[in-house]
Structure 1
Amino acid sequence: MLSKEKLARINELAKKKKTSTLTSLELKEQKLLHQEYLEAFRGGMRHHIEGMKVVDPEGNDVTPEKLKKIQKEKGLHGR
């Protein structure tokens, strides 16, 4: 995840954009911070999903084969 300082800066730029206009440098900075935030979010989400094990109501493992393959490559769930 992003540092508290970067998150604060993202919020600061967003607030400024709502109340006035951003300079070209601030727009570039905002775009870069936004991209960095999305990369961090997607990475965290990917990590979370790759660690999942899907089980049906009867207790059978119904994890999709594609996910099982990824988990095996990463040594997760003893696969």
Structure 2
Amino acid sequence: MLTPDKIERINELARKKKAGTLTEAEAKEQKALRDEYMTSFRQSFRNQLDQIQFVDEDGNPEPPRTKQ
């Protein structure tokens, strides 16, 4: 998971981009931070999905589904 400092930096760079004052170096930094954020988000989301257990109408767990 990203630190609050990195998330704040992402937001700061987004505000600068919207204002039109983002430098090329900051744009590269923004892309790297966004890529790191998305990797973390996808991993966290995948972990949540892997924890889901399906049950039938009677509350009996179904066998685990294979990953695709």
Q: Taking structure 1 as the reference length, what is the TM-score of the superposition?
A: 0.75
Partner of 1:40: 40
**Structure with larger RCO (C-alpha < 8 A, sep 6+):** 2
Residue correspondences, number:
67
Deviates more, 1:30-39 or 1:46-55: 46-55
Q: What is the match of residue 60 of structure 1?
A: 60
RMSD of aligned Cα (Å): 1.5
Structure 2: where are the runs of 5+ without partners?
Answer: none
Deviations 1:42-67 (A, max 9, x none): 01011111111111232132355205
Pick which of 16-25 and 56-65 moved more. Answer: 56-65
Deviates more, 1:15-24 or 1:3-12: 15-24
Distance 2:35 2:12 in 1: 16
1:24 aligns with 2:21: no
**Matched residues in 1 for 2:24 and 2:63: separation?**
47
